[in-house]
């Protein structure tokens, strides 16, 4: 399997699992934290929306589909806010689904040569498209593990 096929498969797999798990959460359960300083499903979903768009589209290509006004809520440096300061869960879930679909469309059009191109956003540790996308491949799996954990707690009635 070549690198581009691997990237597409990983992003698609995480996206499929993410959407399946999201369907089980509602407005109340999406805001529950098992411990005071842990992320809830709502923040994880907003963060995943930001990360896919930023690392797969913006850094390598200078393109973006996300709602940038939400960056302060969900980017890599966002603080945990009181629950009433976040948009409704359904809106965040829909935004994730929309942005993920755009990411998948862009990935489908990439060629192996595109992976070697310099990133349009200068990041020393993501000098090429391949570096930025590879970062999201591992980052997405990391947060999918967190969401899966929250879902198991929700199923057990502990969330």
- Quick: pLDDT tens for 91-138: 999 999 999 999 999 999 999 999 999 999 876 789 999 999 999 999
**How far, in Å, CA of 22 to CA of 42, rounded?**
9
Reported as a single tens digit per residue, the pLDDT across 59-75 is 999 999 999 999 999 99
pLDDT of residue 102: 97
CA 93 remoteness from chain centre: 11
**Percent above pLDDT 90 for the chain:** 89
Model-level pTM? 0.95
How much is the average pLDDT of 12-16? 97
**Which CATH architecture group holds 3-155?**
Up-down Bundle (1.20)
pLDDT tens-digit readout, 144-156: 999 999 999 999 9
């Amino acid at each position: 399997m070549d690198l581009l096929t691997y990237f597409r498969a990983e992003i698609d797999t995480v996206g499929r699992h993410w959407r399946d798990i999201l369907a089980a959460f509602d407005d109340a359960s999406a805001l529950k934290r098992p411990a005071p300083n842990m992320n809830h499903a709502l923040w994880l979903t907003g963060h995943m929306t930001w990360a896919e768009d930023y690392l797969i589209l913006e850094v390598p290509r200078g393109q973006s589909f996300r709602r940038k006004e939400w960056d302060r809520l969900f980017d890599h440096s966002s603080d945990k806010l009181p629950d009433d300061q976040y948009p409704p869960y359904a809106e965040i879930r829909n935004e994730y689904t929309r942005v993920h679909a755009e990411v998948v469309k862009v990935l489908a059009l990439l060629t192996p040569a595109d992976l070697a191109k310099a990133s349009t956003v200068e990041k020393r540790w993501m000098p090429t498209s391949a570096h930025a996308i590879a970062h999201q491949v591992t980052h997405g799996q990391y947060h999918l593990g967190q969401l899966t954990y929250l879902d198991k707690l929700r199923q057990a009635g502990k969330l």
